[in-house]
Amino acid sequence: MDFSRCPPSRPRWKPSRALGGDPAALAGQAVSPALGEGVSSEAMTTALVTGASSGIGAELARVLPRHGHGLVLVARDRDRLHRLADELAQQHGSDVVVLPHDLSHPDAPEAIVRELGERSLVADILVNNAGMIVYGRFWETDWEDERRMLWVNLMALTRLTKLILPGMKARGRGRILNVGSVGSFVPSPRNAVYSATKAYLLSLSEAIAEELQGSGVTVTAVCPGAVRSELQQRAGMTHVRLLRSGVLDASRVAEYAYRAMMAGKRLAIPDLRTRIQVSLVRFLPRAWAVRMAGRMLE
């Protein structure tokens, strides 16, 4: 997929007007703040990026201000988020809001949306990127780790979308980017729950995208192969075969994902190898595909 001929990357929509009322409702309705010098009012949109402290999320946070978007950064690591916010403020004069939250806490999405409302911020772009992996055979992995993963990868994404989408829909504009993976297409032994969360993500994204047809709001699922980040290190799976056969650069994935999102693509797979794998999965007997995925994760 080549997005070099996508629509202009600087968004054409205008900021919405501020409304009074409940902070949670305001999060979907109020006006975005000024983003710094040299940014036209046409480009005043705010992107909420989860998992912005490292990897793909941090790179998306670097891409977005280059295209004129203000930023709200969410992750647990407050210091890293502030360092990134300072970097972006120096480079682009961007107005970056840092909201440290643990998305494995059930009340985090409501708290984030409430804090957006208190700052009179509108999320015109929602990037559901935060994610984690629990590696190992299903009967050996820790339930508490898996419970947290289900919240971060699945529940928080669903709840944040549920809270933010109605405002986008009412304004008739918005972009949602959900970061899936190759596991969205094929069950992955030793990543069983992780790949199930990513299959859910793709199913949810495509269904909502169809519901939103013609509304001015789009949903994009970006599903990369292996990417250089902290994900596998955190999960203790840096030895797996998958990572020996080439990994993608997080900054390239982020740029690609941004363009796909702005073009309103429903599905975007950044690398050729994953595109071929995903096509093969459709033709191979299902059990073979799952076994091959398992081999890559040994």
Ligand X SMILES: NC(=O)c1ccc[n+]([C@@H]2O[C@H](COP(=O)([O-])OP(=O)(O)OC[C@H]3O[C@@H](n4cnc5c(N)ncnc54)[C@H](OP(=O)(O)O)[C@@H]3O)[C@@H](O)[C@H]2O)c1
Interface residues with ligand X (CB under 6 A) are 51-57, 75-77, 102-104, 129-132, 152, 179, 181, 224, 226-227, 229-231, 234, 250
Q: What is the smallest separation between the CB atom of 12 and ligand X, expressed in angstroms?
A: 28
3-state helix, strand, coil in the chain (%, to 5): 50, 15, 40
Shortest distance (Å) from residue 258 CB to ligand X: 14
Q: Choose between 30 and 130: whose C-beta lies nearer to ligand X.
A: 130
Taking the CA atoms of 119, 93, 173 and 183 in sequence, report the sign of the dihedral they define.
Answer: negative
CB of 232 to ligand X, least distance (A): 6
Of the candidates 6, 136, 119, 12, the one whose C-alpha atom is nearest the C-alpha of residue 71 is 119
Integer Cα distance of 157 and 150 in angstroms: 10
C-beta of 270: minimal distance to ligand X in Å? Answer: 9
Residue 135 catalytic? no
Write down the catalytic residue from 135, 194, 256, 258.
Answer: 194
CB 184 within 8 A of CB 123: no
**Alpha-carbon 194 to chain mean position:** 15
Choose between 68 and 225: whose C-beta lies nearer to ligand X. 225
Identity of the residue, 44 or 146, whose beta carbon is nearer to ligand X in the bound complex:
146
Cα atoms found within 13 Å of the Cα of residue 267, Cβ hemisphere only: 17
Question: Nearest-5° angle of CA 63, CA 65, CA 69?
Answer: 115
Question: Which residues are known to be catalytic?
Answer: 194
